[in-house]
Amino acid sequence: MAKYFDVHPENPQRRTISNVADSIRAGALVAYPTDSCFALGCQLGSRDGIDRIRSIRNLDDRHHFTLVCQNFAQLGQFVHIDNDVFRAVKAATPGKYTFILPATKEVPRQLLHPKKKTVGVRIPDHTVAQALLAELGEPLLSSTLLLPDEDEPLTQGWEIKERLDHVVDAVIDSGDCGTEPTTVLDFSGGELEIVRRGAGDTARFE
């Protein structure tokens, strides 16, 4: 049965965030809010967490997982960014964008796209997500909480708790955080490819 944490959206309770971070370090899979919608998250190197996310979302091995980072310095540890891409990504973070970039050796192999050796990265503009990332001190391995055969992600904490009670370990609820996933931008091939148009405005990249 999943634990349910009701967290203040602007002043998240430090003790609660610390408890959630400790549970993630111990292997927990959590549903947590971001600036675009809810996400599933686990510790960076958790093979069990990856398998559980794949199972919940019915994902194949070509799915790009996302490393949700606290800041740009942390993001830079996990992906290679050339100067032109650096400026574009820096100007759009934090925000509702996921960037697909070549991964560094810091990224566990099981997270990489099998052919491209790339990974998704993002920096959320969300107080609760930022508090959790600060407490963890490392990125959260994440994926949008979009269930198979459903068009929109789950957006209500109580519904997530009800429907995923036996497949996640914790739900963090800080109120509504929207229904639209991030815009996904692939910079790994030399030229920009807009993989998904979502919550982030693509005009600045076109």
66-122 pLDDT, tens per residue? 999 999 999 999 999 998 899 999 999 999 999 999 999 999 988 888 888 999 999
According to DSSP, residue 89 is labeled H
CA end-to-end distance (rounded Å), the chain: 45
- Band (pLDDT 50/70/90 cuts) for residue 35 is very high
Checking phi first, is residue 178 left (phi over 0); if not, alpha (psi -120 to 50) or beta?
left
Query: What CATH number did the domain enclosing 199 receive?
Result: 3.90.870.10
Burial class (CB in 10 A: 0-12, 13-18, 19+), 23: middle
45-56 pLDDT, tens per residue? 899 999 999 999
Burial class (CB in 10 A: 0-12, 13-18, 19+), 40: buried
Cα gap 183→202, rounded to integer Å: 8
Decide if pLDDT at 178 tops 90.
no
How many domains is the chain built from? 1
What is the predicted pLDDT for the residue at 190? 79
Mean pLDDT of the chain: 94
Residue recorded with tokens 């990504």:
89
Is residue 141 within 8 A of residue 65, CB to CB? The reply is yes
The pTM assigned to this predicted structure is 0.95
Residues of the domain holding 24: 3-205
Coil/strand/helix, residue 30 = strand
What is the predicted pLDDT for the residue at 143? 95
In what order do the strands lie in the sheet containing 118-122? Answer: 3-6, 170-173, 30-33, 38-43, 140-144, 66-68, 118-122, 97-102, 183-186, 193-196
Decide if pLDDT at 25 tops 90.
yes
Beta bridge partner(s), residue 30: 41, 170
